[in-house]
Amino acid sequence: MHSDREYAADLAGAIDIDRYATLVGSVGDQLNGRKDRFDKSDLIERCLEVYTDGRLKWVDDEGRDFVDTEYGYDIEFKYETDMLFTPARGNERDPNPRLYNSLGSGNQEALPNPADFYLLGQADAIGLLSYAVFEDEDKRSRLKPDDDAVIGDVYAEDITFVFRPEDVGEFDTVDVNYKERKMAMQMELIESI
């Protein structure tokens, strides 16, 4: 298996980061409502399949969103608006992504069926860490059970960046109203039957 540093460098060459940043920046806050969050995650996750020319195959399985078709790694992707860097100063953050949610089926003491790698994203950056980081005695990042979830208590020092904001720089957004398009598609389907 690749080290985190090797794999992040490899993925950096595979992801069209400008297209990723443009899409995520264009959708922006449109999909932050409670009914929209699944659309947002699907849109952001599926774009990575396209923007890696299919290398990251979107599988949307429990505990993994992708399979790397080149190496066979299972990858889980987590997105938050300011997951990795603070918005005001751009300082690195210590994120706490929810890596597993049992959806109310009870307390979760361990991460079932962990992925090989976790990608942590925001519009202008993606970081990576392997599951092995959580088990490494020399690392501070750990998994923490929390009611019906398992949280990644991640420290910035344990994240290897695929790309950072300075790798993206300023990016143009596209004028798109996702919700309007979705409503139009739904009405078209309803009216066609």
Distances (CA, A) of 192 to 178, 181, 183: 21, 16, 14
Per-residue pLDDT of the chain (193 residues; tens, 9 = 90+): 899 999 999 999 999 999 999 999 888 777 788 888 788 888 999 999 999 999 999 998 888 999 999 999 999 999 999 999 998 888 999 999 988 876 666 666 677 789 999 999 999 999 999 999 999 999 999 999 887 788 999 999 999 999 999 999 777 888 888 888 889 999 999 999 9
Quick one: tokens of 186? 């739904």
DSSP SS3 for 55:
coil
Quick one: tokens of 77? 């992707």
Number of domains in the chain: 1
Structural domain including 63 reads 4-192
CB atoms within 10 A of CB 131: 17
